[in-house]
Structure 1
C-alpha cells in the first residue's frame, strides 16, 4: 500500500516522488497502489531521463497482456448489484462460516464439565435444554464482550475502515457473552465481569519519527494488573457454578502493520486467570 510513497516518507531511501517513481518503474513495479503523486512524478522522471519511455511501454504492455489473457476486454465484469445482494452474506455462506468456527475450536482437556447442558429445546428458541437445577455462568475476561475481538482486523473501529469509526453496528456482532446469554437454558443466570485490561490507555497507536530521523512503529504498552477488577471477577466466579474466561489479544497487537513480539497474554490477563482458577469454580 502506497509502496512508492513509502520510499520517500517512511523508508526515506528516495529524496522525492520523482526518484521513487523512477526506482519503482526501473525495478519492474508495473502497478502502483494508493500513490496518486506517482503519475506526475513518473512523467517528470521520463522528462529528466531517469526512466526510458520503453520502460513505461513495457510495463503497460505487461498489464494489458494480463487483462487480455483474463478476458477482461471481452467481459468487463462490471459490478452486478443483484448478484451481490444474492451472494454476499447469503445463508449458505453464513452456515459455512459457523461450521468452520465450530471445527476450529480446540478442546485441550475435559474433566466432565462439558457439555454444560445437552441438546436444544424443541420450542425453536435455540436455547439448551435444562436437565435440572438452574445454574449460574460467570463470563469473565477483556474479550468476553468485545465486538472488536470477534471481528479482528479490517473491521469497523480497527482503523482500516474509516467510514465506520465507531465500529460495526453492535446488533450485527455476537460476542461470547451474547452467545451464552442466547443459548443458556431458561432460568439460568449469566453474569459478567471484565476482570482485566490488555492495553494501557496510554498505548501510542500512531507512527512517529525518532531522534535519528527514522520512523518509529506504534508502541504497545501492556495494561497493569488492577486488583479491583480481579476481585470483582473472582467474586462472580465464586458465586457461579461455571466460569468462562475469555482472554487473548487485541487488534493493537495483530493485524496489518502490527506484529506482536510474544505469544504471552498481555496486561492483567495472566493474573486474572490465576485468580479465577484459584476459586475452584470449574
Structure 2
C-alpha cells in the first residue's frame, strides 16, 4: 500500500468519524430548535452563542478524541485543545442566529486536516437531516456522490452570502451597500442565509451557484470548502496580506459550482479586500 492509498483510507475513516460525531448531536439540536432558546452575546448583538453550541461542541469533542486519540481540536467555542497530529476544525452550530430565531438554516461543521491539508469534511443539516461530506475520493450527500452543475452565466445564477453584516458596514461604509446592490443587480437571485458552511454545501449540491464571504473563520468554511472542491467546484481565498496559508484560513472567499462563472462576485470581493488593505485593516 503506497502513501496515496494510506492517505485515501485515512481520509475515508476521518470522514466516517466526523459523520458519526455530527449525527450524534442531531437529536439534541432538533429538540432544542424552536423551543425558546436563550442566547448570550459574544462580541455584539449579531454574534450569539447558546448553551446548545457549547453542549454540541463538547459532545463532538468527546467523540473525536475517543475515535481518534491522536487528535487536536480547534473549536469555535472551546478554542484549541489536545496535541495530536490530526486537527479537527469544529463549528458546533454554524448559523447560531438562525438556530436561535427559529430559522431552519444552520448546521454542524467538522473538518479534519493533517499538516494543514484538509482530508475530510462534514456539514450536517440536522433539521433536514442532510449529511454533506467529502474525502479524498469525492463529495457526497447522504452517501450518494454529488455531481452538480452550476449555471454558466451570472444572469441565470443564484448567489448566497451573508455580506454585508453590520460589522462589514461599519468597516466598508457605502461601498458595502454598493457591493450588495451590484450583486443583487447581476445575479438572478440573491439570498442572505447567514451560515457559511451550509451555503457552501448548497453550492456543492448544485442548489446555489455561487457563495461569498468576508471575515470568516476556519471553522466556518473548512469543511464546506473541501466539499465544494471535491464536488468539482472552485474555492477562491482572499486575504489582507501576502502571507502563505491554507485556503480555509484565509478570511475571505468566493466559491463557485462546477461549470459556473462568477466574475462579478470575484471583482466585488477583490475590490473590498483591496480597499481594506489600503486602509490598514488586518483582521485574519
Q: TM-score, normalised by structure 2?
A: 0.21
Higher strand share: 2
Bigger radius of gyration: 1
Normalised by the length of structure 1, the TM-score is 0.22
